[in-house]
Structure 1
Amino acid sequence: MSSPALSPRPDQIAELTRGLDLPLAAIHEVYLQIITEGVVQAFQDIRASAPSPVTTGDEAEVTALLVARLNRMIEEDKVWRQLVTGVVRGAESLSYDGAHLEKRPDLSILLSGRALRFPLIAEAKIIDATRSENLYCSQGLLRFLNGQYGWGSREAFMIAYVRDRTTIAGRLQPYLAQPDQAASYAVQTAPTALAAVGCDAARSSHSRSFLYSHTNPPANDPGVIALWHLWVDASPSTGTTMASVPLP
């Protein structure tokens, strides 16, 4: 027996967006840099305190450790506490038209002084010999382009737990440079390396394939989304940093 077709829920979206102009104003790059550095530091901390689950556990196990550490940082780090009020794993959220009521992005980062209805979203994936950049894009990145995740914001994060020591320059950049993939993922700006954030990191921008249902043209266009890619080293060996590994 087939499941019923999903239908938009305009009342849900109207209530969620009431009083807001979407997409929300862009988050200042200085704040995104602080968030990036905080996520990287938290990952390094759990890597040191729980190396086995970080290097061999599934995605949910690693993300649960990361979220716990990020929330602990709110208690311990004055700068982090001023910017972040909480981090939630798998928080239920709506798709852009309300057809889906229970989307569950991996991390929802609640920022101070910003609408809590639209947290900064991060999606996490493992990258290794069997889980590739194809899965990273098709089951991660794409969700930001079709209105499943982060549809009220202008930016989001993709986090890769990298276990085979490959890099953004060696895997993600060539993949998204292929004409068919560039079209499929609506690449506006190819991944460009970010310096001094503590991990292999880049930023790309992408068009989005949906229109807001709660407002009229031209205000119904969500515009381009900027994705910050953080590829952290979750490989079993710690002898060499990812940045120093020769590109394939």
Structure 2
Amino acid sequence: MRPTAIRPRPDQIAELTRGLHLPLPEVSSVHLEIIAEGLIRAFSGICLEAQATVASGSEAEVTALMVSRLNAMIEYEPLWGQLVLCVARGQESLSFDGSHLEKRPDLSIILSNQNRGFPLIAEAKIIDAATSKTEVLYCDNGIRRFVEGEYAWGNREAFMIAYVRDGSSISGKLVPFLSNAMTKAPPDYCIEELPVTIGAGEADMAISRHERPFTYLNSSALADGPGPISVWHLWLA
């Protein structure tokens, strides 16, 4: 069987975006904060009940636990249940031009008030220097996927989740790394704004902003380009 050719597929994009104008409207900061708080609660819960897996399991194992807990929360947390229809792991999606038909972001959070073809995307990565899982991998295999239109290309926001095992922090690791990347010409990861800390709780959380250089395929439903994306970083330990 011959492999599928990597090529733009305007018919796929036209069908996916039928009746839509992209990029979609912003998700309100209030709703994004509720989602961040839900992710924190879910992680705290699985830490209590599956400590060994959270401490030493693979990213896929930890994320699978997260998805199960987040979906269970729909049934017993009224506010979460009103906002979130379901959460999927590895749900297939298209890249921005249809070249890839089977992109699989780690978490697809389907919101009750947003188009189901464009869920809120969260990528998850382990941060553990002892196993060479550092901020470099986090950015190369995480942030870059949003910048290049692999994930969340119809949205204006996305999440990056870190399962931190070595005591790293956003201010100690991610900000210095992105600050250095920003000095390059052009800035690596298309950084417009470095991570800014948000929230007053114990969670390590920040927002960065990144330009996206790709353009949408020609369609009356789409603007010329997606504009920048806000990435909410949530480092959980």
Q: TM-score, normalised by structure 2?
A: 0.94
Q: How many angstroms apart in 1 are the aligned matches of 2:113 and 2:221?
A: 28
Q: Is the 8 A contact 1:175 1:181 kept in 2?
A: no
- Between the aligned residues of both structures, percent identity stands at 54
Opposite residue 175 of structure 1, the aligned amino acid is: F
Opposite residue 205 of structure 2, the aligned amino acid is: A
1:213 alignment counterpart = 217
Q: How many angstroms apart in 2 are the aligned matches of 1:159 and 1:180?
A: 25
Q: How many angstroms apart in 2 are the aligned matches of 1:168 and 1:115?
A: 31
Q: Call closer, same or farther: CA 1:154–1:106 in 2, change over 3 Å.
A: same
Unaligned runs of 5+ in 2: none
Unaligned runs of 5+ in 1: 234-248
2:234 alignment counterpart = 230
Opposite residue 19 of structure 1, the aligned amino acid is: G
Q: Is the 8 A contact 1:128 1:162 kept in 2?
A: yes
Residue 195 (structure 2) pairs with residue 191 (structure 1): yes
Q: Call closer, same or farther: CA 1:58–1:26 in 2, change over 3 Å.
A: same
Q: Is the 8 A contact 1:193 1:203 kept in 2?
A: yes
Q: Is the 8 A contact 2:38 2:70 kept in 1?
A: yes
Q: How many angstroms apart in 1 are the aligned matches of 2:234 and 2:8?
A: 33
Q: Call closer, same or farther: CA 1:198–1:69 in 2, change over 3 Å.
A: farther
2:68 alignment counterpart = 68
Among 121, 138, 141, the residue aligned to 1:139: 141
Q: How many angstroms apart in 2 are the aligned matches of 1:113 and 1:190?
A: 29
Opposite residue 172 of structure 1, the aligned amino acid is: L
Q: Deviations over 1:33-90 (max 9, x none)?
A: 0000000000000001100000100000000000000000001100000000000000
Q: How many angstroms apart in 1 are the aligned matches of 2:115 and 2:27?
A: 12
Q: Call closer, same or farther: CA 1:127–1:157 in 2, change over 3 Å.
A: same
Matches within 5 A, 1:152-167: 152-167=154-169
Q: Is the 8 A contact 1:33 1:197 kept in 2?
A: no
Q: How many angstroms apart in 1 are the aligned matches of 2:4 and 2:39?
A: 40
Q: How many angstroms apart in 2 are the aligned matches of 1:67 and 1:135?
A: 22
Q: Is the 8 A contact 2:23 2:223 kept in 1?
A: no
3-state SS of 1:98 partner:
coil
Paired positions, count: 232
Q: TM-score, normalised by structure 1?
A: 0.90
Q: How many angstroms apart in 2 are the aligned matches of 1:181 and 1:168?
A: 23
Matches within 5 A, 1:25-64: 25-64=25-64
Q: How many angstroms apart in 1 are the aligned matches of 2:200 and 2:29?
A: 14
Opposite residue 49 of structure 1, the aligned amino acid is: E
Q: How many angstroms apart in 2 are the aligned matches of 1:20 and 1:125?
A: 31
Q: CA deviation at 1:219?
A: 1.7
3-state SS of 2:187 partner:
helix
Q: How many angstroms apart in 2 are the aligned matches of 1:78 and 1:181?
A: 47
1:96 alignment counterpart = 96
Q: CA deviation at 1:214?
A: 3.6
Q: CA deviation at 1:125?
A: 0.3
Q: Is the 8 A contact 1:37 1:197 kept in 2?
A: no
Q: How many angstroms apart in 1 are the aligned matches of 2:155 and 2:145?
A: 13
Structure 1 outlier segments of 4+, above 4 Å? 2-5
